[in-house]
Structure 1
Amino acid sequence: MSRHGSVRTTAAVFSLISICVAHVVLYARAQANTRGFISIDCGSPPSAGYVDVVTWLPYVPDAQFVDAGVSHNISAEHAGMIDLKLPRLYNDLRSFPTGARNCYTVRSLTPGTKYLVRATFLHGNYDGLGPGGLAVFDLHLGVNFWQTVNVSSVSDTFQAEIIAVVPDDYVQVCLVGKKGLGTPFISGLELRPLPDTLYPVVANASLSMAVHGRYNLGPDDEKPIVRYPSDPHDRVWKVLANLRSWNPANTTGTVRYVAGDQFEVPSAVMQTAATVDDGFSLRFYWGAYESNKELDYFAVLHMAELRRLNGSEARICEVYLNNGLWYSKPFSPEFRYSSSMFGMVAGSTEYSFRIEPTANSTLPPLLNALEIYVMVPTAERATHGGDVSAIMAIKAKYEIKRNWMGDPCGPKIYLWDGVGCNYAISSAPRITSLNLSSNGLAGEITTLLSNLTALQNLDLSHNSLTGNIPEFLA
């Protein structure tokens, strides 16, 4: 979540493996393709689809993705910020005052594809309780913990973002309440497919990474965030406020990246940078989320020279982490070519970095952009896909009103009422028993039950079912 960690002095910089390749064919930027983009305005009226006036992306109401919760508008005093400073999706929200776990199910995805999933939040004093209505709750991506959301202000926006490989043709984003810590809510949910070549550290569904911070360095504090269409992948690049010791640098020329670049930072971000006075180092530090030194981080440092240097000038730097040399080789950014240095960071509650000019450098260090991610294990298996499809169809057929939200079998603490599962070590959980007694079921016994191919026990007693017993139950 963009608020869950603090980058206090400027940003972060990490292990350096330069991927700048000289004299190669530049990647030709095609017109941004929004195929596969899904943009959901949570809590909006069912017929209130619209096109965002900044991104020109279409947003749809959330009714088709969730069957629980209560829609609200934010208070009038906070609604004045909408259109002036904030996107329209913040105008309303959906809260979940009941149920331990409430989930959005987004379908028609491409299995095995890497997605950027972003959840957005603005309390906006929707309940009239002021600070008393604030909340702390967890987000789950499917059956796996994503992160904790701590809404500490009625007027601040919050974003939680994760990059993950989605193994199925659907994904579930769940809000999990914490007893006594307020009512979970959500303002917006966005999914953006990413090319396999981007962020290769996320190679499969067992490991994801949540955004700790993604920053654009160098512009003044009033510059708006950079996202789509400037970034065709619709990543949100926020401005990191310059310190007095920083000097902004910029260019109007296009900053390109090479073919096969693993990050594809947009030119609008790379056209600005932060630097310092001659003879000084560029320093910054950031703290681990909740001071947890057990967390693993992945950090990316983006650099590009913004003016053509003359023959007597050189910008050559080294990076230090917590007073130790981080990368053995000095590096020098290329003119209007994006270079990215990246690596894993772990084992500390605070990370202090400095970029130092080498003895033969005539210019101070420079940094254009920064990304920091928390590595999130997502290896817990979801229920067998065929079982999920079958039980969801049964739920819809009989309009079952239970705590049937999210994955049927996992996590075990949220196992659906009346559902029993078998948990094998090397395969997905299977639904092996189903108790639908005394649920007010009416009509014929549906053949959809036959699609639960691992089912061993079924109880349909004390309902108003009619017709013959299907052959598969005989």
Structure 2
Amino acid sequence: MAQASFICLLLSFSIIILSNAADINIDCGSSSSHVDADNRTWVGDTGFVTTGLTSTFKPIVTTAESLTTLRYFPTGETNCYSNIPVDKGGKVLVRTRFNYGNYDGENKAPKFDVVYDGKHRDSVVTVTSISGTRSEAIYIPESGNTSVCFFRMFLNENPFVSTIEIRRLDDSMYTDLGPKEGFILQQRTAYGRVQDLVRSPFDPYDRIWAPTPLSTVTLTSAATSINTSGADNRPPEIVLRTAWSREDMAFYDIKLPFSGVTFYIVLYFSEPLTLASDQKRTFYVNYDNKQVGPSVIAPPFGAVTQASLRAVVTTSLPYLTFKAKPDSTLNPLINALELYVISNSAGNGTNSTSSGSGGSPSTGGGGGGSPSTGGGGGSPTTGGGGESPSTGGGGGSSGSGGGGGKSGPLTTTINHHHYGSEQTVIAPNADTVTQIQNAK
């Protein structure tokens, strides 16, 4: 009996190891392993790279250990991390992060390109301030190993990297992603959260959701729990706990690096109020004059609707607009958003919706896209903060959308690209402006 129990314990341990095979944290520039304050294990990078030099810097604020070391590449046009183990054919999220820290004393943060798995390219613009920069890609590796390469774009600017993180995603997520495509992150936002970033453990896939420090009307969900299983991309419940609501919202910061790229935008909606029999919230959403989702949006209470669109952006300043149906008594709302550029895409754009009752969006093809430029976000705070969504707004009578209504244009700052070096106390570095105004 004791032997059988021991064998079962070994099998269970093996299953745990296999289930975490694709979750890897590489501390670039370090040769040793360590466990951080959030119980994440970091490994040194010497088993993944053979070129480059290492450096460290002393941060002026409290910073995660993994972000105080880096590897830089003073020679060669291309330098790569390779043989990073992943599940062949499974979806992964790969996040690279860059904290310059003036390690070289030049006070000149470089610009360079990062390429994932040999084909998904993003352009990185690092910063000299204490805030960091990040880049993210979601794709399906073609083998049991993946690579992250850094391409020199300017002769006197050396690429560098602070960390590389690999996160495995469920195969049922991001079904709009083609087998040879990549989603290059431009923006991932939780509306109504006013301070801390959200990531693991609140998001089991360790995606990073940026807060919105100020808002128009913030609604807080009255639902005891929110079932997220109906949305293919599995947004974490915490980002559905708050929403922005206003009459005829228009977001002008939901932008792409340049015209002509193929994009994928996905929005999440959950009704925060227990609606009376005479209340109704239904609306349409458009991005760059293309409808997001194939039909009208009616957010479910205690569940979530996901609406997405794949298309080719036709203007240099695309915008996201919300318009209530004529018979709707409540204003439109939004809980969360993800925006990506699609690499290696082809075909015509499509849109799709999945709701609380399940359903898989159509795949459709982008439209002749080139790999994206555009940075990622910055270095988030560890742990993503507490699970206490901001209050405010709330309530709401018929026709108000929880306090919506007209009050003129409102401008808020949202830091989508640089968040401050993984600090205990957040000091947002606002670099993007969102305008929310009446679209009449």
Structure 1 residues 34 and 247: alpha-carbon distance in aligned structure 2, compared to 1, 3 A threshold: farther
* Percent of residue pairs identical: 26
- Corresponding residue number in structure 1 for 2:270: 304
Q: 1:96 to 1:177 in 2, by over 3 A?
A: same
Amino acid of the structure 2 residue aligned with 1:256: N
Q: Deviations over 1:388-417 (max 9, x none)?
A: xxxxxxxxxxxxxxxxxxxxxxxxxxxxxx
Partner AA of 1:211 in structure 2: L
The Cα of 1:321 is off from its aligned counterpart by 3.8
- AA at the equivalent of 2:320: F
Does the CA contact (< 8 Å) of 1:287 and 1:349 recur in 2? no
Equivalent position to 2:297, from 310, 328, 331: 331
Q: Does 1:255 align with 2:238?
A: no
Match of 1:53 in 2: 37
Q: Show the counterpart of 1:113.
A: 90
What is aligned with 2:326?
359
C-alpha separation in 1, matches of 2:93 and 2:120: 16
Distance 1:325 1:101 in 2: 40
Note closer, same or farther for the CA distance 1:321–1:343 as it changes in structure 2 (3 Å cut): closer
TM-score by length of 2: 0.70
Tell me the CA shift for residue 215 of structure 1: 0.6
Once the two structures are TM-superposed, the CA of residue 372 in structure 1 deviates from its matched residue by: 0.2
Q: How many correspondences in the alignment?
A: 326
**Structure 2: how far apart are the matches of 1:352 and 1:287?**
6
Q: 1:150 to 1:331 in 2, by over 3 A?
A: same
> Residue 241 of structure 2 is aligned with which of 250, 268, 271?
271
Structure number with bigger Rg: 1
Pair 1:226 & 2:198 matched: yes
Q: Where does residue 150 of structure 1 map in the other structure?
A: 125
Does structure 1 conserve the Cα–Cα contact (< 8 Å) formed by 2:255 and 2:319? no
After superposition, the Cα gap between the structure-2 partners of 1:351 and 1:241, relative to the gap in structure 1 and judged at 3 Å, is farther
CA distance in 1, matches of 2:124, 2:288: 29
* Cα 1:234–1:312 shift into 2, 3 Å: same
Aligned to 1:239: 211
Provide the rounded CA distance (Å) in 1 between the counterparts of 2:284 and 2:51: 53
Q: Is the Cα–Cα contact under 8 Å of residues 145 and 378 in structure 1 kept in the other structure?
A: no
Unaligned stretches of 5+ residues in structure 1: 1-32, 380-474
Distance in 2 of aligned mates of 1:251 and 1:372: 24
Shift of 1:326: 5.7
Residue 81 of structure 1 deviates from its aligned partner by 3.3
Range 118-127 or range 321-330, more displaced? 321-330
Shift of 1:88: 3.1
Pairwise mapping of residues 45-444 of structure 1 onto structure 2 (< 5 A)? 46-47=31-32, 49-54=33-38, 56-77=39-60, 80-82=61-63, 87-130=64-107, 133-204=108-179, 206-220=180-194, 222=195, 224-243=196-215, 246-251=216-221, 253-258=224-229, 261-276=231-246, 280-286=247-253, 288-291=255-258, 293-322=259-288, 329-346=295-312, 347-377=314-344
Q: 1:76 offset after TM fit, Å?
A: 3.9
Which amino acid is 1:266 matched to?
Answer: P
The 1:160–1:76 alpha-carbon spacing in structure 2 relative to 1, beyond 3 Å, is closer
Runs of at least 5 residues in structure 2 that lack an aligned partner in the other structure: 1-18, 347-440
- Tell whether the 8 Å contact from 1:114 to 1:163 is kept in structure 2 after alignment: yes
Deviations 1:70-126 (CA, angstroms, capped at 9, x unpaired) = 22112342xx231xxxx4321211111112111111333221121111101110111
Structure 1 pair 312–34 and aligned structure 2 pair: CA distance change class (3 A) = farther
Q: Residues of 2 paired with 1:90 and 1:335: CA distance? A: 41
Once the two structures are TM-superposed, the CA of residue 325 in structure 1 deviates from its matched residue by 6.0
Paired residues of 1:248 and 1:275 also in contact (CA < 8 A): yes
What's the Cα RMSD here? 2.1
CA contact (8 A) 1:217 1:272 kept: yes
Looking at structure 2, the residues matched to 338 and 242 of structure 1 have their Cα atoms a distance apart, in angstroms, of 24
- 2:22 maps to 36
